[in-house]
Amino acid sequence: MVGGGFAGLWAVRALKSAPVRITLVDRGNHHLFQPLLYQVATAGLSAPDIAAPLRQILRRQKNVVVRMATVSTIDADAKTLELDCDGGNETLAFDYLLLATGATHAYFGNERWAAHAPGLKTLDDALDLRRKLLLAFERAESETDPDARDAWLSFGIIGGGPTGVELAGTLAEIARHTLQGEFRNIDPSRARVRLIEAGPRVLASFPEDLSEKARKQLERLGVEVSTGTPVKDITADGYRLGETFVPAKTIVWAAGVSASPLGECLGVPLDKAGRVPVEPDLTVPGHPDIFVAGDLATLKQANGKPVPGVAPAAKQMGKHVAKAIRARLKGVGIAPFRYRDFGNLATIGRMAAVVDLGAWKFSGIVAWWFWLLAHLFFLIGFRNRSVVLLNWSVAYWTHQRAARIILGGDDTRC
Amino acid sequence: MVGGGFAGLWAVRALKSAPVRITLVDRGNHHLFQPLLYQVATAGLSAPDIAAPLRQILRRQKNVVVRMATVSTIDADAKTLELDCDGGNETLAFDYLLLATGATHAYFGNERWAAHAPGLKTLDDALDLRRKLLLAFERAESETDPDARDAWLSFGIIGGGPTGVELAGTLAEIARHTLQGEFRNIDPSRARVRLIEAGPRVLASFPEDLSEKARKQLERLGVEVSTGTPVKDITADGYRLGETFVPAKTIVWAAGVSASPLGECLGVPLDKAGRVPVEPDLTVPGHPDIFVAGDLATLKQANGKPVPGVAPAAKQMGKHVAKAIRARLKGVGIAPFRYRDFGNLATIGRMAAVVDLGAWKFSGIVAWWFWLLAHLFFLIGFRNRSVVLLNWSVAYWTHQRAARIILGGDDTRC
């Protein structure tokens, strides 16, 4: 099993009492609850609140060895893979392989934008972004030139999907409420938070009426929402929206992901986002013992739409792979993978969210409470849940954010 | 006011309603509760749990401007100082100056040891150390050579003061309890944690019988305590203790501090640890408008002993400076600074601590509870206290540690 995210970890757990020896390889030491990553980036939670060590989660499951390592190559025919280790490489042989290394941000060929508009996929990304957001206000405070000051108070969030919407809504709340009264030279509530979506509406995976509600809720929180115009360029000083250059010192990329590069090792054709098109049983075409699951896989459902790149889909895929391996060991077959869609939710900011459960659609405060309870419920581990709940309660009542600490040493100046 | 630690922050707060304009300069954005820093280094707390943004603490105090900046030079005669800013330098003029920038680790002329034996003074230090400690067990797990594996499981803590004792005790607990059952190739409880003190006893600032109790409690937790033999060399592979080379991949420096280099800017003679010898009113000799407080200052008490470099002394000095400034504005004099010693406490590990209140001395479980309550009481801010209490409760009952997350990107391998 390569990757300790939702797909990999759920597959491992579903093989709990199976007669197999599992090696779980991950480049980090922790499982990350990615849906709350934006809360770390916006200083609401600290990194350990949304992550748990894989070893700790799996310590009672005796058929698992956890290895913190990167996979450098896979030989699909010889059924081996190579771990990149400090003291030299190491080869692992496998009977079955699950590749579930997820996705990373993609700049669609504009890789130089990466330096000015970082994305948000790992805890390190989130901490870098937190630092960048908090420092922008510090820089604005000590800047004497009014234009430069405005540029420090101008934030561009590129991409109107759930991550972009969450970041924009929370950032507007920070500027308007959290930082209120703390600065002497600037008024943080004058900060300009702009959410930029190239397509016609935000939250495109939701029904149209919920997209419209999300836009209204964002605007109420103080976010400028721009749709229908793509970003043409990004520099250290701002972004070009159509023909207009908007000065902005802080730009965040939430616009696109591509699959982890590990898919390339398999030697099969990939889709244009680098994902592995899998068979209905989640195996790689021509390699019936290699499974791919989660954001690294792409599979069309019966209705013609692809399985979405969301946490519940990854968990379901992981469990399906475990079931398939159990069945193979017994020499029986199982039905192909079918995604069960329990609904779609996105939070926007303080007391604002949208929920689409198919038959039921709602937005606003009720949706926000629903989102909050659902996320608390799915967060792994007792301790994380209670700390997160506590931080959220305090944040809710005081508008404060628990993790407003700038880390990162020597260049923390002014 | 330069420095937002205990001395600087307490001085600022004690000037709350005074007719002054205060600029508080700190290179970070937060006040740090340094006595719990070792808890961040040992993954018990996350960084934001023990830090609070200075702006947030002071936002209601309207006579304060907070500046996140480094001070590059001080002109004591012209009464100006220079801030090192991103967009060029900036000069601040002052009527009164308080320098309270604390201390950093010192290697007594063996600066090349710094690379192999990092110290613990800032949050960044603590996160680096956490990463190093957690990675050592990961490396041991994937190491096949038995000698190399033992070196990854060998930890040297150099310095038997409170920080060294706390780190050694907690690390032994992690190895023996927290990580139990999580590894497959190594037995973490076989890790060798050695506390090395060059002097005759650990916790030398405590009475001798408490030092002896601390040693016994450390040994019960599984720490090897070595006293009376200094470390002669430190390399990437271990340390030389007297004539014996001890292989150890993880070495921590808790042996010495020297004052912040900013003292040199004053142009007065410093003591050999770089501290500024101050007058009994905490001013710099020859510069009655410049105060120095906290770990950067050194002052002999009436009993001939120097004021100790502990948080309560720094707070008292900060408050004294505020009082002195208020008195000067009114044209009256005040009594010289006198340190009030309320006692001395140090924690050792799970349910082990020593407390010296002068008349009362105790150790063991009662001392540990006393230490715990005292530290919770002094921790700034409601939120931090409750999160810390919650993390500690969970840690106490489960032996788990909340922040066992390895951060830091690309070199997280094996």
What digits encode the pLDDT tens for the residues B315-327? Answer: 999 999 999 999 9
| Comparison of pLDDT for A317 and B180, the residue scoring more | A317
CA atoms of A59 and B177, how far apart (whole Å) = 13
CA atoms of A63 and A53, how far apart (whole Å) = 17
In which residue are the tokens 């990329």 written?
A253
Long-range pairs, A394-400, Cβ under 8 A, ≥24: A394/B382, A394/B383, A394/B386, A395/A44, A396/A350, A398/B383, A399/A173, A399/A177, A399/A178, A399/A180, A400/A178, A400/B56, A400/B383
What is the model's pLDDT at position B394? 67
CA atoms of B43 and B179, how far apart (whole Å) = 12
Examine the pLDDT at B203 and tell me if it is beyond 60.
yes
Calculate the alpha carbon distances from B356 to A414, B207, B339 in Å. Answer: 42, 8, 16
| Virtual torsion, Cα B108, B112, B113, B114, nearest 10 deg | 90
Query: Are the beta carbons of A405 and B183 separated by less than 8 Å?
Result: no
Report which secondary-structure segment, H or E, holds B376: helix B365-378
Hey, do A6-27+69-105+257-330 and A111-255+350-411 end up sharing a CATH topology, with the first three levels equal? yes
- Residue B124: list chain A partners with CB under 8 A: 407-409
- Mind listing the pLDDT tens digit for each residue in B216-244? 999 999 999 999 999 999 999 999 998 99
- Mind listing the pLDDT tens digit for each residue in B380-412? 665 566 677 777 766 666 667 777 777 765 433
Contact A263, A240 (CB under 8 A): no
What is the model's pLDDT at position B251? 97
Report the Cα–Cα distance between both ends of chain A, in Å, rounded. 46
Q: Choosing from A166, A182, A219, A243, which is the catalytic residue?
A: A166
The Cβ of residue A239 has, within 10 Å, a number of other Cβ atoms equal to 23
Give me the active site residues of B, please.
Answer: 166
Query: Are the beta carbons of B87 and A30 separated by less than 8 Å?
Result: no
What is the model's pLDDT at position A412? 32
What is the model's pLDDT at position A85? 66
- Mind listing the pLDDT tens digit for each residue in B114-128? 999 999 999 999 999
Q: Identify the CA nearest to A384 among candidates A1, A17, A32, A123.
A: A32
- Residue B408: list chain A partners with CB under 8 A: 124
- Residue B185: list chain A partners with CB under 8 A: 65
Residue of B nearest to A406 (CA): B29
Query: Are the beta carbons of B46 and A48 separated by less than 8 Å?
Result: yes
- How near does any CA of chain B get to the CA of A139, in Å? 8
Signed CA dihedral, B78, B2, A400, A212: sign only: positive
Min mean pLDDT across A14-18, A177-181, A391-395, B36-40 is at A391-395
CA atoms of A215 and A69, how far apart (whole Å) = 42
For A6-27+69-105+257-330, CATH number out of 3.40.50.720, 3.50.50.60, 1.20.1050.10, 2.60.40.60 equals 3.50.50.60
- Mind listing the pLDDT tens digit for each residue in B265-289? 888 999 988 999 999 999 999 999 9
Query: Are the beta carbons of B390 and A387 separated by less than 8 Å?
Result: yes
- CA gyration radius for chain A? 22
Query: Are the beta carbons of B51 and A405 separated by less than 8 Å?
Result: yes
- Residue B398: list chain A partners with CB under 8 A: 383
What is the model's pLDDT at position B414? 31
Mean of per-residue pLDDT scores for chain B: 89
Residue of A nearest to B67 (CA): A414
What is the model's pLDDT at position B411? 38
Say which of A145, A387, A412 has its CB closest to residue B391: A387
Query: Are the beta carbons of B383 and A403 separated by less than 8 Å?
Result: no
What is the model's pLDDT at position A237? 95
- Residue A152: list chain B partners with CB under 8 A: none
Q: Chains A and B: how many Cβ contacts under 8 Å?
A: 188
Say which of A48, A84, A148 has its CB closest to residue B402: A48
The residues near B396 (Cβ < 8 Å, ≥ 6 apart) are: B350
- How near does any CA of chain A get to the CA of B13, in Å? 15
In which residue are the tokens 């599992």 written?
A22
- Mind listing the pLDDT tens digit for each residue in A276-319? 999 999 999 999 999 999 999 999 998 888 999 999 999 999 99
Say which of B28, B383, B413 has its CB closest to residue A85: B413
If pLDDT is split at 50, 70 and 90, which confidence band does A413 have? very low
Query: Are the beta carbons of B68 and A28 separated by less than 8 Å?
Result: no
Query: Are the beta carbons of A124 and B407 separated by less than 8 Å?
Result: yes
| Cα B317–chain centre separation | 18
- Mind listing the pLDDT tens digit for each residue in A141-176? 989 899 999 999 999 999 999 999 999 999 999 999
Query: Are the beta carbons of A142 and B386 separated by less than 8 Å?
Result: no
Tokens of A52: 């748990």
User: Which of B2, B22, B39, B46 to mutate to probe the A interface, most A CBs <10 Å?
Assistant: B46
- How near does any CA of chain A get to the CA of B162, in Å? 25
Query: Are the beta carbons of A27 and B386 separated by less than 8 Å?
Result: no
Examine the pLDDT at A178 and tell me if it is beyond 60.
yes
- Mind listing the pLDDT tens digit for each residue in B294-344? 999 999 998 888 999 999 999 999 999 999 999 999 999 899 999 998 888
User: Which of A68, A137, A384, A392 to mutate to probe the B interface, most B CBs <10 Å?
Assistant: A68
Taking the domains of chain A in order of start, what are their residue ranges? Answer: 6-27+69-105+257-330, 111-255+350-411
In degrees, rounded to 5, the angle at the alpha carbon of residue A233 between the alpha carbons of residues A230 and A235 is: 140
- How near does any CA of chain B get to the CA of A32, in Å? 10
Say which of A43, A58, A123 has its CB closest to residue B407: A123
Examine the pLDDT at A410 and tell me if it is beyond 60.
no
- Mind listing the pLDDT tens digit for each residue in B57-106? 898 999 999 999 999 999 999 999 999 866 668 899 999 999 999 998 88
- How near does any CA of chain A get to the CA of B390, in Å? 7
What is the model's pLDDT at position A137? 95
Tokens of B153: 């499981």
Query: Are the beta carbons of A414 and B87 separated by less than 8 Å?
Result: yes
- Residue B58: list chain A partners with CB under 8 A: 182
For A111-255+350-411, CATH number out of 3.40.50.10790, 3.50.50.100, 3.30.750.24, 3.65.10.10 equals 3.50.50.100
- How near does any CA of chain A get to the CA of B376, in Å? 17
What is the model's pLDDT at position A379? 74
Examine the pLDDT at B7 and tell me if it is beyond 50.
yes
Average pLDDT over residues A244-270: 91
Residue of A nearest to B138 (CA): A68
Say which of B48, B180, B183 has its CB closest to residue A405: B48
Say which of B27, B30, B400 has its CB closest to residue A383: B400
Q: What DSSP assignment string belongs to A73-96?
A: EEETTTTEEEEE-TTS-EEEE-SS
Say which of B30, B56, B70 has its CB closest to residue A413: B70
- Residue B413: list chain A partners with CB under 8 A: 27, 68-70, 84-86
Query: Are the beta carbons of B67 and A414 separated by less than 8 Å?
Result: yes
